[in-house]
A and B are shown apart, each in its own frame.
Chain A
């Protein structure tokens, strides 16, 4: 439908004017574009620079304020959900004001938000942040976190022995665990009365289209690899990973797996879009109290994954010693027990179990909070990947998620 220009001379002139105006605007923009190109060339490489950033000077003695970024439902709350009793006690005792923020929703998005400032050694506004093992490993590799002064954290000796020497941080000089958890399987007890025993049970035809898995690669692929009999904590051949990806891809394309999500998988369990899922241990306790006692969590027979979220002090934080004081506080067994009683994840502090006997003896025997040797022997930590592996495996996993 190409139309001729209206015959009215007035309208014709207006159209002509409009056309010539847009031409001159284009000229202006061309000129501006050249200067912009010069500007952008000045700062055009992405990612960390070759030189590692240096730590900021410590001003904790003069400025008694710190900020702590953490995940949702990860610190004890009082009945109204307004204050954090253990944190209030710390503030009173130490005279340090702590601004606690639920700022971490996902390792990747948090990293995306702060990475450019970290690369420049700038203050990201948080003096303490809790992130998962593999992300902490990346931050340490890039030099984005500060070294602890362990003499200021004497309680760090309470750390569970098995977590003292991790491959990404031998001797724990840059990171200390906050809470840990298992990835395993869970199911809706009303709809799947028989329960599940292994990851293979998720691929049962009766559950077609009603299975959810996590978008966290190390948990979903980790469980599938464990099912295949691979020890994920040691070096394995690339083909083992590829096999697991093949199983995963097949279940996705066959429609057995309904969806692959982060924290939002709980919504699917509640709406019953999914009846069984790969999930995180602490969450099931939470939704059972929220939405009726309907779900059951189990570590698969072939093994579950074990992960930790760790305290780190970002490179640009000027409050290192105040942050260390807070870490030290939370490594007291009594405080750790108080937190564990609320969050229902695994506490890394030795002695917390004994302290829990005094608070709530029933929880002291909860395998999801205080796992014994037998439970722990059935779980593995996904080994730290090299940078090249992280890119390659990450891309393979994402390709399934995007259906490409």
Chain B
């Protein structure tokens, strides 16, 4: 999409091929940054994930080895939590998309003629960022607590069993994830829909297409870049999130996600190889899912 700016009639000459020292020099800070803050930690994580308990036998003491079995142990021991993480992340992404699409469509297309309203709604979407993510999640914890108006109200209407509760259940965790990541879905969708040329929609209905057909064949494909980046921005952090599912926030013992398992292994059990191998598994799975997803939906949509 961004290429449309270049698409003037004349074809430009080939980009310069000459290797320039200045270009390398300008790249250097970026490369150094990547090496120091991405590659070094990644390699050290990989090495840690293969460590074996030291002969000293004390807690948290490990030495370099090639203990690939760490991965097998992590997967068998925490298979449920790994699957659960991706299930929750997919659910949160789908719910966020369902919630955000109409919202973004309204802001980006319907509210075009009222710039004030449009800006106001955008501010409302971004406003939650002014308050810390942790505080907002804690606020939800008390809003959804057993004696809260919401829960007692549901019970009074018999929509919830008298001994049921919301905090500490998968419902609360998926809700928290969805809530926290909605702005990440809404903003890219808005950016894509804001550029939607409504004349295409008129053309569609002029050709007697059903409004749903127009939506399916015109609006969705044109907003695909927004959907793809929104889904990536929601799914990737949601799969690794450990705040919502944490027992201190919205989760319980039955909702632990991979992030919580890593935290427990790293901070409490001091089992660094397990924590490192789980982190690598998380990265590899996300990379695989994202690769397949981007391949299928087309990389050029991201541009």
Contacts and interface: CB of A to CB of B under 8 A. Distances in A.
Contacts, number: 168
Interface string B1-44: 00100110001101100000000000000010011000110011
A contact patch SS:
helix
Interface in A390-404: 390-391, 394-395, 398, 400-404
Interface in A1-17: 1-3, 5-6, 8-11, 13-15, 17
A388 B56 CA distance: 10
Interface in B159-197: 163, 165, 167-168
A324 to B, nearest CB: 28
A33 B43 contact: yes
Interface in B28-77: 31, 34-35, 39-40, 43-44, 47-48, 51, 54, 56-64, 77
Contacts of A208: 163
Interface string A283-314: 00000000000000000000000000000000
A400 B6 CA distance: 59
A273 B260 contact: no
Interface string A237-261: 0000000000000001000011111
Interface stretch (B88-96, B99-107, B268-276): B268-276
Contact of A39 (B40, B145, B146, B248): B40
Nearest to A9: B11
Contacts of A115: 60
B81 A402 contact: yes
A47 interface: yes
Interface residues of B, number: 65
B297 interface: yes
B183 to A, nearest CB: 26
Given A47-B54, A398-B264, A260 B40 contact: no
Interface stretch (B108-116, B233-241, B251-259): B251-259
B247 A3 contact: no
A13 B81 CA distance: 45
Interface in A254-286: 257-262, 264, 267-268, 271-273
A142 B60 CA distance: 11
A77 B69 CA distance: 53
B202 interface: no
A259 B168 CA distance: 7
A32 B261 contact: no
A79 interface: no
Interface residues of A, number: 65
A403 B247 contact: no
A108 interface: yes
Given A33-B39, A273-B146, A45 B256 contact: no
Contact of A2 (B56, B63, B296): B296
Interface string A352-373: 0000000000000000000000
Given A10-B7, A13-B14, A36-B43, A401 B269 contact: no
A261 B248 contact: yes
Contacts of B34: 29, 32
Contact of A15 (B51, B146, B256, B300): B300
Most buried by B among A6, A50, A404: A404
B16 to A, nearest CB: 11
Nearest to A210: B146
A26 to B, nearest CB: 12
Contacts of B40: 36, 39-40
A70 to B, nearest CB: 20
A166 B224 CA distance: 67
Given A46-B48, A47-B60, A394-B268, A403 B256 contact: yes
Contacts of B14: 13
Given A11-B3, A44-B44, A401 B59 contact: no
Contact of A402 (B142, B146, B260): B260
B7 A401 contact: no
B137 to A, nearest CB: 12
A260 B3 contact: no
B62 A271 contact: no
A29 B256 CA distance: 35
Contacts of A261: 247-248
Contact of B35 (A36, A142, A264): A36
Nearest to B14: A13
Contacts of B60: 46-48, 115
A224 to B, nearest CB: 16
A390 B145 CA distance: 35
Nearest to B63: A45
A37 B298 CA distance: 34
Given A46-B272, A252-B253, A32 B47 contact: no
Closest 6 CB pairs of A and B: A47-B61, A271-B145, A387-B58, A272-B147, A402-B256, A40-B44
Interface of A: 1-3, 5-6, 8-11, 13-15, 17, 28-29, 32-33, 35-37, 39-41, 44-48, 50, 108-109, 112, 115, 138, 141-142, 208-210, 215, 252, 257-262, 264, 267-268, 271-273, 387-388, 390-391, 394-395, 398, 400-404
24 contacts: A2-B295, A5-B300, A6-B3, A11-B3, A13-B14, A39-B43, A41-B47, A44-B51, A45-B54, A47-B62, A48-B58, A141-B58, A209-B163, A258-B168, A259-B252, A259-B253, A271-B141, A271-B147, A387-B59, A394-B269, A398-B264, A401-B247, A401-B264, A403-B254
